[in-house]
Homo-oligomer: A and B are copies of this chain.
Amino acid sequence: MAGKERTWTLNDLANIVGGECDGDPSYVISRPVPAGTNDPQGITFATNEKYLKAALETEIGAVLVPVETPQVTKNVIRVADPRLAFGIVLGAFTKPVPTQPGIHPTAIVHPSATVSDSASIGAYVVIEENAFICDNVKILPHCYIGDNCHVGENTILYPHVVLVQDIRVGKKCILHSGVVAGTDGFGFNWNGQYQQKVPQVGGVVIGDNVEIGSYTCIDRATCGDTVIADGVKFDNMVQIAHNVKIGAHTVMAAQVGISGSATVGERNVYGGQAAVSHHVSIGDDMVFGGRSGIFGNMDQAGEYFGLPAVPLSQAMRVMALQNRLPELFKRLRSLEKEIAELKNGT
């Protein structure tokens, strides 16, 4: 739902994206919109003439176009890379969630905790013993910052984030609503009568520039730390089990599950619902399609897919052939009959 966005003139936006304003420089733009939107106050982008033509048929207010685009009747901003420029425009229209400086009177901060003067602590936040909240941190309402947790500079925690105990979050991180770090790892031993809990006394270390989606769970280690390196991006509802290590700049889409003590390298990409088994080690620069299942160690950089994950091209071929199994059985039966006839001399 469209909010009370700030507005920009066409000329302002051209300056922001470093482009050339071609049209009415004082034209007011209220919001970036998807291609094809009929919005006289909107701006969108077109990477080629086909998309531009489509945009010109709408009442869109302005279009970001490649420098070489012929003159058109619409307001345009000419840029080297319209998609990139649109990202900058999106940034210009970003509206921060409301926060106030200081500690909200309803927030409960333990006397042993340290909160920077420049931090913003929202309503009904609870901060427990020995927690440490660095400069410019924003903690939104209803978050729980447990015993001995550390939140690094310029990190934002959306409402309802829970850091249970012994969690270290780096700088410039974004933890979306409902992230939980520090739930006990899932460790039990069957003793013949019941599942005996293996105590979980480790922590979680999250690097800098990490973004974590809603309801993603990162369990505390049995001992030592579960580790999320710098620049990692998790979508919603990702499961990171105890003792896992995730390498820098790895990206995981929603509902991915990484089992206990697995190690994932740097710059990996996991499609939604993919999963890695216990104690598996994955190298750098691996790309796994959605719902891939990885049972064993893999370290040759490339694209993979399937259960178990195999090189993407092989997986696609196998998947296509699977649906031809009925035909295959039919051809086999036919061959068996022909051979029987040949043997019988018929």
CA distance A277 to B324 in the complex (A): 23
For residue A26, CB closer than 8 A to chain B, the reply is no
Select one of B1, B255, B291, B339 contacting A203, CB under 8 A: B1
> Which residues of B lie under 8 Å from residue A203 when comparing CB positions?
1-3
Question: When chains A and B are docked, how far (Å) is the Cα of A277 from the Cα of B253?
Answer: 11
Contact A290 B272 (CB under 8 A): no
A217 touches B217 (CB 8 A): no
Name the residue on B nearest A322 (C-beta).
B318
- Report Cα–Cα, A130/B90, bound state, in Å: 22
Q: Identify the closest chain B residue to A209 (Cβ).
A: B194
Residues on the B chain within 8 Å of A27, using CB: none
Contact A183 B3 (CB under 8 A): no
Indicate if A98 sits at the interface (CB-CB under 8 A).
yes
Contact yes or no, B308 A319, CB < 8 A: yes
A219 near B236: Cβ-Cβ < 8 Å: yes
A272-309, CB < 8 A from B: 272-273, 275, 277, 290-291, 293, 307-308
Q: Check if B199 sits within 8 Å of A186, measured CB to CB.
A: no
Contacts of A21 in B (CB 8 A): none
* Chain A 84-114: CB-based contact to B (< 8 A → 1; otherwise 0): 0001001101110110000000101010000
Which range contains the number of A residues in contact with the other chain? 35 or more
Taking a contact as CB atoms under 8 Å apart, the answer to whether B165 and A95 are in contact is: yes
Q: Which residue of B lies closest to A267 (CB)?
A: B190
**Residue A70 CB within 8 A of the other chain:** no
Contacts of A317 in B (CB 8 A): 325-326
Of A30-38, A50-58, A60-68, A72-80, the one contacting chain B is: A30-38
A90's partner among B204, B223, B257, B328 (CB-CB below 8 A) is B223
- Report the minimum CB–CB distance from A329 to chain B (whole Å): 6
A16 located at the interface, meaning its Cβ lies under 8 Å from any Cβ of chain B in the complex: no
With A and B bound together, what is the CA distance between A239 and B219 in angstroms?
Answer: 18
Contact (Cβ within 8 A) A97 B164: yes
Q: How far is the CA of A198 from the CA of B45 in the complex (A)?
A: 14
User: What CA separation (Å) do A225 and B190 show in the bound complex?
Assistant: 28
Chain B neighbourhood of A135, CB < 8 A: none
* Cβ proximity bits A147-165 to B, threshold 8 Å, 1 near / 0 not: 1111000000011101011
- Contacts of A177 on B, CB cut-off 8 Å? 144, 162, 164, 180, 183
Q: Which residues of B contact A335 (CB under 8 A)?
A: 332, 335-336, 339
The answer, yes or no, to whether A22 is at the interface (CB within 8 Å) is no
Within 194-248 of A, Cβ neighbours of B (below 8 Å) are at 194-201, 203-205, 209, 211, 213-215, 217, 219, 221-225, 231, 233, 235-237, 239, 241, 243
A contact residues vs B (CB 8 Å cutoff) = 1-5, 31-34, 37, 87, 90-91, 93-95, 97-98, 106, 108, 110, 122-124, 126, 128-130, 140-142, 144, 146-150, 158-160, 162, 164-168, 174, 176-178, 180, 183-184, 186, 188-190, 194-201, 203-205, 209, 211, 213-215, 217, 219, 221-225, 231, 233, 235-237, 239, 241, 243, 249, 251, 253-255, 257, 259, 272-273, 275, 277, 290-291, 293, 307-308, 310, 314, 317-319, 321-326, 328-329, 331-332, 335-336, 338-339, 342-343
